[in-house]
Amino acid sequence: MNVSQLFGLTAAALVGLGVYGLIVNPQPLRKVLAFNLTGNGVFLACAVIAHRGAGAGMSGDPVPQALLITAIVVSFAASALAVGLMLRRFAETGTNSLAAADDAAPGEARTNAEAR
């Protein structure tokens, strides 16, 4: 087995672990963690592809590596937005759960919230 295959398997396992964490953990922050794990698995797969593309004097195919840098940065921004939503919701309600108890029953009037 060479390095590419080893990390390819690791990447697949990471994606699987991330998917498991996403489904099983009901709490948003843990889901964001699991999403990051899945993302890292995907990125590791891309790095494997880049490593296999070494040639022409370069140690790896530069195009997937450039894509990875973009993807890592975008993923951080996504985590930041998710954390912002969670913290704001916590500040408003004191909870951080996606449980259906928070969904207002359709008939309940939104008292003084003005729908724009």
Partner 1 sequence: MTTLALTGQSTPGGLLLALAVLLPFAGMLAGLAPGGRHAQRVAWATIVLGIGIVLEIAARLLVSGDALRYALGGWAPPLGVVLRADGLSVCMMLVVAVVVGAVAIYANGDFGTPPGTREARAPLAFWLLLLAVWGALNLVFVSGDIFTLYVALELLTFAGVPLVSLDGRAETLQAALRYLLYALIGSMLYLLGVFLLYGAYGTLDIALLAGRIGPGPLAWTAVALMTAGMLAKTALFPLHLWLPPAHAGAPAAASALLSALVVKGSWFVVVRLWVDVFGGMVGGSVAQLLAGLGAMAILFGNVVALRQVRLKLLIAYSTVAQIGYLFLLFPLAAQHESTRAVTGGLLQAISHASAKAAMFLAAGLIYSTLGHDRLADLRGAARALPMTLTAFALAGATLIGLPPSGGFLAKWLLMSAALATGQWWWALVMLLGGLLTSVYVFMVVVRAMEPAAPGWSPKKQVPRYQQFAVLGLATCSFLLGLAVLLPVDVAQIGRTVIPQAGMP
Partner 2 sequence: MISAISVGIGILLLALALWTVVVRDTFAAVAGFIPYGLLLTLAWLVLRAVDVALTEAAIGAGLTGALLIRAASRLHPTETAAQAETPGLATRVAAGVAATAVAVVIALCLLRLPDPAPTLAPEVARHIQATGVGNPITAVLLSFRAIDTLLEAIVLLFGVVGVWSLAPDRCWGGRPGLAQAVGPNDILVYLARVLPPIGVVIGIYIFWVGADHPGGKFQGATVIAAMWLLVMMSGLRDAPPVSRRWLRAVLILGPAVFIALGLLGAVMAGAFLAYPDGWAKLWIIIIEAALLPSLAVTLVLLLIGPPQRPEVSP
Task: Looking at residues 82 to 111 of the shown chain, list those that interact with partner 1 (rule: CB under 8 A).
Answer: 82, 85-86, 88-89, 92-93, 98, 102-104, 106-107, 109-110
Distance CA 32, CA 30 (A): 5
Burial 16-51 (b: 16+ CB within 10 A, else e): eebeebbeeeeebeebbbbbbbbbbbbbbbbbbbbb
Q: What is the token pair recorded at 47? A: 């790095």
56: contact with partner 1 by CB under 8 A: no
Minimum Å distance from CB 108 to partner 2?
Answer: 22
Size of the site for partner 1 (CB under 8 A): 42
Distance CA 28, CA 14 (A): 19
Considering the complex, state which of residue 20 and residue 107 has its C-beta at the smaller distance from partner 2. Answer: 20
Task: Looking at residues 67 to 96 of the shown chain, list those that interact with partner 2 (rule: CB under 8 A).
Answer: 67-70, 72-81, 83-88, 90-91, 94-96
Task: Looking at residues 6 to 35 of the shown chain, list those that interact with partner 2 (rule: CB under 8 A).
Answer: 6-21, 23-27, 29-30, 32-34
